[in-house]
Structure 1
């Protein structure tokens, strides 16, 4: 434990807090975790909105709507294919693996994730204990009214050939002696272009070349919750029933500002059911922490494995 406390102290976390948390954790049975984008920041994954809230010239939030998909499915699919690609270039960090290990060791530990990046799944977090509030970039579902086709954890990249990220090319003049009439040759490069850059033209993709349903040939869409859509009722019901079934010992709030409801409300609900709260974030995200709660400020990929070490060992 001294080693864990020392490492956490180097990350700016009080060793006394680490020790008191670790001691309490050993006696915990029912644990709830709420995950946000800060968990994946340590994996180098860009935030949803990106710099300035734009993807190319588009407001990212305006692309994440049913109306945008209906108006221009090719544009929306290119945006989500880019996000899928970036998520797959990132790797789960030690916090993802630590939470997955805690899940395997404690079947009374459940996780509510606001992330759609698939990193928890790739860290082999048990699916029955991972509840996705906003869906996943790697789930798809059919848009045809009478079709119920869905597919989960499809990590194919690209999901359709038309959505492959283009490679960079350079024009090389092969015969300068011919002046302006000289021939030019395109040399292919393995380096990908940045399709978030407005300097690169997005191809016009026919709807028939976008991801298609294998059952009805309808158009597939990303399996995420768009603005204006309800959160998955089955997921909400499952989490609510778990909380109501018995007292909660501990709630972990990791990498989230806890400002967006209903996710933010789980802290108060868990506290009402007896939970002590531990916040792990770069800045304090829960407005009111009790004297028996903890705030660990720092990089989740460093802090989470250290504070869970008393139960899960080294990751």
Structure 2
């Protein structure tokens, strides 16, 4: 049978739930104007973003990779948290046994006031920079925009009816010497790189141990899967683990196919997280206005 879709039924269940976990993906930040790079048109210039998100790509063309991430960093700094971020932050403040696992690197959840103790950024942060040579240097929450003068083309703003030259595949990329890219001030030899987890790299083991420990403490009542397909580990593993522990799975996603595989006891809410989450949590956090304030 199809999963349930009643907001009232879900509110009743959430009100009586104790341990809650949320798994968030790019869809959570879509309403903040940040691209998800999924589906038709999911390219950056002529490149698949996943092809730029590897250590090999950085070694082959660090200027290209840095331009991509410097642009994404600029977009993240310009963006504001949306009502979905604020709703999750408010839920965390009111429920001690709530843990939010985000695959997003944009830093919007902390800016929405989500308590650090109840938030784990699985894939790092685009606001962090670290040494590519792994000398140990990390600069957290670096808000330099552009990251360095050579990357200024990635931090330009144009009217909404004009295309940023950097994003136009018909406009040649600016020529950038490797010497002009940010270098590590600690080891003096390595390039700095974005503080995100690239394909082929391991997630932070200490953080994963913390998450696993939280899962083991007691049964989980509900896992919210928000704006993500959750088909890649560790995301998929957490959904499966929560389900085995008796959790109800609740999917919030504009893609109707995201409800496939849910059971009759689960919930599926099709739509934008910024609109749906404040409704789902209203009995606990109160009513939220359009700016994300509790009224």
TM-score normalised according to structure 1 size: 0.81
1:206-259 CA-to-partner distances (Å, cap 9, x unmatched) read 223222323333321111111111222222221111101111111111111222
Query: Alpha-carbon deviation of 1:95?
Result: 0.4
Query: Alpha-carbon deviation of 1:271?
Result: 1.5
Secondary structure in 1 matching 2:153: coil
Match for residue 277 of structure 2? 304
Q: Partners in 2 of 1:281 and 1:311 — Cα distance?
A: 21
Contact 2:259 2:268 in 1 (8 A): no
Match for residue 181 of structure 1? none
Q: Partners in 2 of 1:87 and 1:148 — Cα distance?
A: 25
Contact 2:36 2:42 in 1 (8 A): no
Q: Cα–Cα, structure 1 residues 135 and 286, in superposed 2: closer, same or farther, change >3 Å?
A: farther
Query: Alpha-carbon deviation of 1:286?
Result: 4.9
Q: Within 5 A, what are the aligned runs for 1:8-27? A: 17-27=6-16
Contact 2:31 2:82 in 1 (8 A): yes
Q: Cα–Cα, structure 1 residues 95 and 53, in superposed 2: closer, same or farther, change >3 Å?
A: closer
Match for residue 171 of structure 2? 200
Query: Alpha-carbon deviation of 1:109?
Result: 0.7
Match for residue 279 of structure 1? 251
1:291 is aligned, of 249, 264, 268, to: 264
Contact 2:127 2:143 in 1 (8 A): yes
Match for residue 242 of structure 1? 214
Contact 2:91 2:284 in 1 (8 A): yes
Across the two proteins, how many residue pairs are aligned to each other?
279
Unaligned runs of 5+ in 1: 1-12, 170-190
Q: Partners in 1 of 2:283 and 2:87 — Cα distance?
A: 11
Contact 2:250 2:266 in 1 (8 A): yes
Query: Alpha-carbon deviation of 1:24?
Result: 1.7
Contact 2:278 2:287 in 1 (8 A): yes
Contact 1:49 1:55 in 2 (8 A): no
Q: Partners in 2 of 1:196 and 1:144 — Cα distance?
A: 29
Q: RMSD over aligned Cα, in angstroms?
A: 2.3
Contact 2:37 2:43 in 1 (8 A): no
Q: Partners in 1 of 2:183 and 2:203 — Cα distance?
A: 24
Secondary structure in 1 matching 2:71: helix
Q: Partners in 1 of 2:198 and 2:23 — Cα distance?
A: 20
Match for residue 187 of structure 2? 216
Match for residue 70 of structure 2? 81
Contact 1:95 1:302 in 2 (8 A): yes
